[in-house]
Every structure is written in C-alpha cells, then in structure tokens.
Structure 1
C-alpha cells in the first residue's frame, strides 16, 4: 500500500451536526496544499449516522469498539496511511485549513507540532472562562514544571506528528488524558516538539461536549503526577524530611520559645513524625522510578542508573543497621539514667527527648533495611 504524506484524523462519537463541515474543510485543506493525503474518521460507536456522512464525503472510517478519546485516536493513528498525522476534534472548533502552518515544521524534522490557541485566536464563546484562565494555564504550567516541555497550550486538540514516532511511544491511556500522555512521552523520548499559533472557534454542536471539566481536568493532573515520581514523591519527601529534621535538631536540647509560644516535646513528636513520613515518601519515589522504568512507563535515566552502582543492597543494609544500633545506643543511655534514679519516676519531658529519637532511629533503620530488600527485588530484572 502506497504511503501518503498526511492523514487528517478525527475522533468521532455522534458528530453528525458538524462532521460534514469538518470533513469537507479537511479535504479542501489537502487539495489546496497539494498534499497527498486522506481524511480518516475514528468512530467510537456513533448511532446518529456519522459513519455514513463521512463515507459519503470520501473519508475513510475505522470502527473503534473501545470507548474513549484516547482509544479512538490511538486506533486511528494505527490505521493511518500517512507519514504524518494531523488530528483535531470533529466539532468545527478547529481549523483544518491551518495545515500549512504544521506541515513545514514536520518536514523540517519536528516530531510533534502543537497548536497554540493562546498565541493565536480564541474566538468569543469558544473556550469557557474556567478553562481559559485556570484549567489550561495551570495544567500547562505543571507540565512545563514537571517535564521541561516547551509547550504553552497542553490541551490544544489540533496537533500534527510523525506517525512512526508516535507509535513508538507505547501510548496507553484511553480517556481525555491521552492528550497529555502524548506530549509527556514525546518529551521523555527526547522528541523535537514545537508550537504554531492556531484558532479556536465555538463548538458547532447543539449538545454538550464530551469533555467534563472537573473529571477530565483531574485525569490530566493525575497523569502528570504519576509520570513524575520526582515531583509526586521525591521532592515532597525530601522537603518534609529535612524540615522535620531541622525542627527536631532545634528542639532536642531543650524547649524553644517563639514569641509567646513555647515549643517542647509535643512539637518534637510531630517533627520526628515528619522525618519518618519524609523518609517513607522518598522510598516510594525510588520504588516508583525503578518500577516505571522496568515497565516502560518512564525512560532509562543514566544518572539514576549510576546512583544504583553505589547505593546497593549491602549499603542499605549497613545504613539501616547503623540506625538501629543508634536507636539501641540512645535507649541504653535512657535506661542508664533510669537506673541511676533507682528505676523510679523520671522527668517525662527529659526522657521523651531520648526515647522519641531512639524510636525514630529504630523505625528509620527498619525502613532502610526492608526498603533496600524491596528495591533490590524490583531491580532484579533491571540487573
């Protein structure tokens, strides 16, 4: 089968009101640009005759039994005959005649070219204020912060890419978060990503859109968090650990006054608890990184691999054993003070300044020992 230059792909679920307009516009864009291509509709189970409309206008239709925006697009990408794929919703909100803005970027070597509605035009009534001023900017900022992706409009539905490069990413999500997965995985794979300005017009349908603001916004954010163990686990874990450790060191010698407040062993209890929580979250971070790399969710990280050459099972066991011994040492000193008092009553405040750190050392030591075994188990396949 001869490969075409471009496939214009539209996911479709009951889009009879606007599909004819979109297919006609896409066909005209291919013709006016002199590009050898096709219009492909990935139908997600329409019951309003969308399939017949698309076929009647010369488009190709692929049936996708698995429901979901991502499922429809992934099936369409797999069925596409073009070297490049340009995708957009079939709701008349995107302009397929912007094809000349995307194709030169792909031919120049870019792997993924995103439309940017904020640097282009957002027509009146095209985007709800909540999406325009909160949802999209916040999620786009999180994506740039977590992954360093040079994209300012993470959720623009008009984008173009190299088909073979996209198939090589192993995209998995079937819902609206597919839009984020595509960008994140392309970035992690070191693909060339760029943006071009585009226009968003009001949805041409009379019914409500498939997008659900809070549900799908959360699914996008959840995906970004799960694909960044550093921001989900490691950074918070390290911050909590060191904050707890600093406060604990400050309170260990004696109570401290801050204005009219006195901070004593009660505060010390919580600060040492923060040390434990931070350490536990940090172990989650390393475990998630190892698991994600092994399962192919995350790319190999040379710096992380080099770290494992020094932090081995044996190093973790020794470190954990030293912490347990430190706990016994502090406990031994506390028992010694109790013996000097004839095993009678002691100052509760004074003893808590010993028993709390001792218990913390015990728990951190056990965490280090069994955490090292668990990480070693995860790393068996890697090694």
Structure 2
C-alpha cells in the first residue's frame, strides 16, 4: 500500500528479552502495509535474537543500551534502508496491530513529521482497557502539563505507538537524547521545539496479557525526568540553547 503514494514505510520491532512473545507479536502484524520489517534486539539475555532470525524479516542485534538506545539504533537502520516513515511495533505485542492501517492512512493523507498513537481517545478508553487508575491519573496530569508547556494539542505524550518521519529525524537529530525511556518524551519535545507537524490517532492497548514494562520506581524517575526536559525546553525557547534542543535543518 505504501508504494501507492511513493513513500517507503518500514515496520521496526524493538525487542528485549521477549523471546516467548516475539513470534506471536510478529504474526499479528499486517505485513501488506510495509515495504520492509526489521527486528532490532537490544542485547537480550534470552533467545530473542534467535527467534528473530527465524522470522522472514531483517534482524539486527547490538549490545544492550536501553529502550531509547534500541529505538535510536532501529531508526538508524530504517534510515539506512531508505525509509520515509518507520512505525514502532512493540515486540511484546502490547499495542493492537489493528492500529497500523489507520496510521498508514494518516501519513499517506497528511504526511506529518511525527505521528503518535493516543490511548486517551476517547478519554476513558484506557480504563476500559484495564489501565490502572494510578497510571491513568498520572498520565492525564503529566500530559496536561506537557500540553501547556510544549504547545502541542495532543491528548497524550507518553505512549509507545509512534511513526517517525524521515524529516523528523533529519531535523531534530538524535544526539544528546537518553538511551532510556526518557527518549520517548525527549523526541516529542524536540519536535515541538523545531515546530514540526505532530499529529495523533486513537490506539488500543492490551493491559491484561503478558507484556514487558518498566517498574513503578522507574516510572516515577521517568516522570521526574520529563519535568527536567520541560525546564530545558523553556530555557531553549528563551534563547538558552542546549545540546538537546537544536534544529539541524
């Protein structure tokens, strides 16, 4: 389908210690929407890469670097393969693959620089999908602050379903970003700083099945770190540029 609009779309599956979940996650992906699919293993200690090599995809592995490091490595590989857009597909299958056709339709119709999937459209959907109340309220509160500071009219800023456009990567760069989960918020803030087009679509997420996720302690650390990113964003807007906030082109 991507060829109809002369754009190349690559599905990238970042994976870490999810050998028992990876094959099922891959099987649920609608392959017809992609020109290529890659699996990028973040130095797993289980058989994740072994499983990846049995799948009809391009598979890569590298020393463990964390969620952000793995995403950056995957984006780099997708860019080397000539992608115009790369769609992040979780190797543990947490995000419903039925979200993918809507994402493809959105990028073909509007060509955003960055497309995010929101679990909060409609607002109560996460609770219906069994998100915990604590996580739900924390996400709502953080996203409200993010929306006010970054000036992006998004319903959620802390999701895992994303479509990265080539223009986004070439404009904001990946230098100075975290190798941990904070990367996922930094890249949104960088896009806002460079005034790129960031859109969202509703997505569904499975909280009932077995998935990989960060601990409560790391979630709290992540939340505090996002406030640091917002502070740097404000400073950058006032003219105090940092390595994180700069526009390459």
Whether 1:131 aligns to 2:174 is no
Residue of structure 1 equivalent to 2:192: 187
Instruction: Return 5+ residue gaps in structure 2 as ranges.
Output: 1-5
Change (3 A) 1:50 1:141: same
Q: Structure 2 vs 1, CA of residues 227 and 48 (structure 1 numbering), >3 Å: closer, same or farther?
A: same
CA distance in 2 between counterparts of 1:17 and 1:215 reads 24
Higher-helix-fraction structure: 1
Alpha carbons of structure 1 residues 230 and 25: separation in structure 2 relative to 1, 3 Å: closer
Q: 1:124 to 1:222 in 2, by over 3 A?
A: same
What pairs with 1:99-118 in structure 2 (closer than 5 Å)? Answer: 99-107=100-108, 108-118=110-120
Secondary structure at the aligned position of 1:100 is classed as: helix
Whether 1:49 and 2:53 are equivalent positions in the alignment is no
Q: How far apart in 1 are the matches of 2:89 and 2:227?
A: 22
Task: Say which of 8, 13, 18 aligns to 2:16.
Answer: 13
Distance 1:104 1:224, change over 3 A: farther
Higher relative contact order (CA 8 A, sep 6+): 2
Residue pairs, 1:17-166, within 5 angstroms: 17-26=20-29, 29-31=30-32, 35-80=33-78, 81=81, 82-107=83-108, 108-119=110-121, 121-122=125-126, 126-133=130-137, 135-166=138-169
Q: What's the offset of the Cα at 1:164?
A: 4.1
Alignment: residue pair count: 234
**Matches of 1:67 and 1:106, distance apart in 2:** 30
Unmatched 5+ stretches in structure 1: 232-284, 301-383
2:3 corresponds in structure 1 to none
Of 160-169 and 95-104, deviating more is 160-169
The match for 2:202 among 189, 197, 200 is: 197
The question of whether the paired residues in 2 share the 8 Å contact of 1:7 and 1:84 is answered with: yes
Q: 2:245 aligns with which of 298, 304, 320?
A: 298
Cα 1:25/1:165, change in 2 over 3 Å: same
**Offset from partner CA, 1:183-239 (integer Å, 9 cap, x none):** 111111111111111101126337xx34123433332432343443476xxxxxxxx
Question: Using a 3 Å threshold, how does the CA distance of structure 1 residues 145 and 52 change in structure 2: closer, same or farther?
Answer: same
Measure the CA separation in 2 of the matches of 1:230 and 1:204: 37
Alignment of 1:307-326 (within 5 A): none
**For each residue in 1:109-155, what CA deviation from the matched residue of structure 2 results, as whole angstroms up to 9, or x when unmatched?**
2111111112154375642221112x211211121111111111111
What SS does structure 2 have at the residue aligned with 1:122?
A: helix
- Partners of 2:171 and 2:208 lie apart in 1 by 32
**Partners of 1:230 and 1:17 in 2: CA distance:** 40
- 1:16 to partner: Cα distance: 1.4
1:245-265 alpha-carbon deviations (Å, 9 max, x no partner): xxxxxxxxxxxxxxxxxxxxx
Post-superposition Cα deviations, 1:75-127, rounded to whole Å, max 9, x if no partner, equal 00000132211113222210223212112222222111111112154375642
User: Considering only CA atoms, is the larger Rg found in Structure 1 or Structure 2?
Assistant: 1
The 1:24–1:49 alpha-carbon spacing in structure 2 relative to 1, beyond 3 Å, is same
Q: Give me the whole-angstrom Cα distance separating, in 2, the residues matched to 1:115 and 1:77.
A: 18
Residue 17 of structure 1 aligns to a residue whose secondary structure is helix
C-alpha distance in 1 between matches for 2:149 and 2:46: 41
Tell me the TM-score normalised to structure 1 length: 0.56
> Do residues 212 (structure 1) and 159 (structure 2) align?
no
Q: Distance in 2 between matches of 1:138 and 1:106?
A: 28
Where does residue 313 of structure 1 map in the other structure? Answer: none
Give the whole-Å Cα distance in 1 for the aligned partners of 2:180 and 2:99.
26
Structure 1 residues 69 and 203, CA gap change in structure 2 (3 angstroms): farther
Task: Work out the CA distance in 1 between the residues paired with 2:85 and 2:208.
Answer: 26
Distance in 1 of aligned mates of 2:43 and 2:56: 19
